[in-house]
């Protein structure tokens, strides 16, 4: 995969973002809203906070809802940052006159993006340029309760996406274990260990009863959350004497029996056979996310060795397409990890090759009415891929362009369960795919 064309963009030669480079991208990628450009760059490079900006007010801090997402190990962060960093930031105004843009927080003190204290409130800076005022997410009222066993609701049913999504990681480990099985980008097992070492209460397997206890407060007191996701690591043998589908079904059934249709139910799991999926659909689950992570045929076994060994790429893809018969095409939304096809040592050398490969997968799925979404690959230190430079911003802008073009080519509906699309509306905080939908250019 050697780059021979001098014009191609080498993965390894990406300079840190400056205001000049952002302005150049804004002029070049006129079909991508500037909000999406900045969101992707903050996600890819991370952000840091001056401690004074974290001192004032009550706001929702990071619940570490499944992975760390931080570029820096928890032990290397100061106490203030470790326990006071907000889940997300919402940036508005500033140099580019941004519409309100919600961005997930990934801590990295090396980033050129910093949230600073100002007399008017916190603001996001790129070096010395003010990119806009910053809000931190509100704490839902129901976070004030404690479960009978003394746990915080944010430990059992955290909200993200500015309160829109209840993220229920019911199993906080994965039975794919070690570098021969774990997905190479994933730190679910290491995150669990880090949180325990940092002294944070962090339940490995959530009890159904405790989950229902917290959801009863949400049901009574909350109007912001519209969707929940049930997810967790893979179960290869059994867990609590149940196989994988039985284990996860217990949660879906319990929630939908107690609160039928109260929120839109989504499952993020491995790709299951459609025969196993019908009972989830019948009990009330509406959206299915069998994440395929990476399209490339040669890279899939290297990046997802456990999934390759136990299920296999061809089977995985077949199951995604067949699950359309159960949920309907628009309600099957498999995720891929944007940029991991550039990861060293096995990935592509150029942005062009990476986007061409991933674009092929997008076309395949979208031609079947399935709309893959993506998250932004975050090189977390304790993963198999380890700390290494993330993809250049150009990669994400090309990817957003291809994603938008393909989505529009097949005239697909807005993916359900993500709230309103478009700049200023999108609350999906770990990539900008919702920010580009419907944008008409400038």
Burial of 73 (0-12, 13-18, 19+ CB in 10 A): middle
For residue 355 the two structure tokens come to 């986007």
For residue 172, the minimal CB distance to ligand SF4 (Å) is 9
Task: Return the number of the residue (104 or 234) whose C-beta is nearest ligand SF4.
Answer: 234
Which phi and psi angles does 10 have, rounded to 5°? -75, 135
Choices 126-134, 143-151, 182-190, 391-399 (CB under 6 A): range interacting with ligand SF4: 182-190
In this structure, the strands spanning 335-338 and 373-376 are: parallel
The size of the interface with ligand SF4 (CB under 6 A), counted in residues, is 8
Distance CA 73, CA 30 (A): 37
For residue 233, the minimal CB distance to ligand SF4 (Å) is 4
Choices 38-46, 70-78, 178-186, 199-207 (CB under 6 A): range interacting with ligand SF4: 178-186
Which phi and psi angles does 165 have, rounded to 5°? -120, 125
- Tell me the residue length of the chain: 442
Task: Return the number of the residue (171 or 327) whose C-beta is nearest ligand SF4.
Answer: 171
Rg (CA), the chain: 21
Q: Using CB under 6 A, which of 91, 157, 186, 324 touches ligand SF4?
A: 186
For residue 312, the minimal CB distance to ligand SF4 (Å) is 14
For residue 292, the minimal CB distance to ligand SF4 (Å) is 11
**Site map (CB under 6 A) of ligand SF4, residues 136-175, x = contact:** --------------------------------------x-
Q: Which of 347, 345, 398 is nearest to 374 (CA)?
A: 398
Give yes or no for a contact between 423 and 36, defined as CB atoms under 8 angstroms apart: yes
For residue 186, the minimal CB distance to ligand SF4 (Å) is 3
Chain-centre distance for alpha carbon 250 = 24
For residue 321, the minimal CB distance to ligand SF4 (Å) is 20
Residues between 205 and 264 that touch ligand SF4 (CB under 6 A): 233-234
184 forms part of the interface with ligand SF4 (CB under 6 A): no
H/E run at residue 2: none
CB neighbours (10 Å) of residue 214?
25
Choices 162-170, 179-187, 378-386, 401-409 (CB under 6 A): range interacting with ligand SF4: 179-187
Distance CA 41, CA 106 (A): 11
299 forms part of the interface with ligand SF4 (CB under 6 A): no
Q: Cis check for the bond before 67: say yes or no (omega within 30 of 0).
A: no
DSSP summary character for residue 337 = E
334 forms part of the interface with ligand SF4 (CB under 6 A): no
Task: Return the number of the residue (186 or 317) whose C-beta is nearest ligand SF4.
Answer: 186
Q: Rule CB under 6 A: which residues touch ligand SF4?
A: 174, 176, 182-183, 186, 188, 233-234
């Amino acid at each position: 995969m050697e780059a021979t064309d001098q014009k191609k963009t080498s993965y390894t030669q990406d300079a840190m973002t400056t205001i000049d480079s952002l302005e150049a991208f804004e002029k070049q990628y006129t079909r991508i809203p500037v909000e999406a450009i900045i969101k992707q760059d903050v996600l890819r490079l991370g952000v840091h906070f001056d401690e004074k900006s974290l001192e004032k007010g009550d706001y929702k801090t990071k619940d570490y809802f499944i992975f760390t997402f931080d570029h820096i190990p928890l032990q290397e962060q100061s106490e203030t940052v470790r326990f006071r960093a907000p889940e997300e930031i919402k940036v508005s105004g500033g140099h580019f006159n941004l519409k309100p843009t919600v961005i997930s927080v990934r801590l990295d003190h090396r980033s050129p993006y910093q949230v600073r204290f100002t007399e008017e409130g916190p603001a996001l800076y790129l070096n010395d340029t003010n990119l806009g005022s910053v809000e931190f997410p509100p704490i839902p009222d129901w976070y004030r309760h404690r479960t009978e066993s003394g746990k915080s609701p944010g430990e059992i049913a955290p909200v993200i996406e500015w309160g829109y999504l209840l993220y229920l990681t019911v199993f906080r480990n994965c039975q794919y274990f070690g570098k021969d099985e774990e997905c190479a980008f994933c730190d679910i097992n290491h995150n669990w260990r880090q949180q325990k070492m940092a002294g944070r209460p962090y339940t490995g397997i959530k009890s159904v009863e405790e989950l229902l206890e917290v959801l009863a407060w949400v049901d009574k007191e909350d109007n912001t959350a519209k969707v929940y996701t049930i997810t967790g690591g893979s179960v290869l043998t059994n867990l609590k004497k149940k196989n994988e589908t039985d284990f996860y079904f217990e949660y879906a059934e319990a929630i939908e029996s107690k609160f039928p249709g109260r929120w839109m139910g989504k499952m993020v799991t491995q790709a299951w056979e459609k025969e196993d999926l019908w009972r989830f659909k019948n009990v009330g689950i509406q959206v299915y996310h069998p994440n395929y992570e990476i399209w490339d045929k040669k890279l899939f076994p290297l990046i997802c060795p456990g999934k390759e060994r136990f299920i296999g790429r061809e089977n995985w893809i077949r199951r995604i397409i067949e699950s359309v018969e159960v949920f309907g095409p628009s309600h099957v939304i498999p995720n891929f990890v944007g940029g991991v096809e550039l990861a060293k040592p096995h990935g592509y050398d150029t942005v062009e090759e990476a986007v061409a490969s991933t674009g092929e997968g997008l076309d395949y799925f979208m031609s079947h009415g399935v709309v893959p979404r993506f998250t932004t690959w975050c090189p977390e230190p304790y993963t198999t891929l380890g700390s290494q430079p993330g993809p250049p911003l150009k990669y994400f802008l090309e990817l957003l362009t291809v994603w938008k073009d393909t989505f529009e080519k097949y005239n697909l509906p807005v993916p359900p369960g993500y709230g309103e699309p478009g700049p200023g509306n999108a609350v999906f905080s770990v990539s900008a795919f919702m920010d580009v939908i419907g944008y008409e250019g400038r």
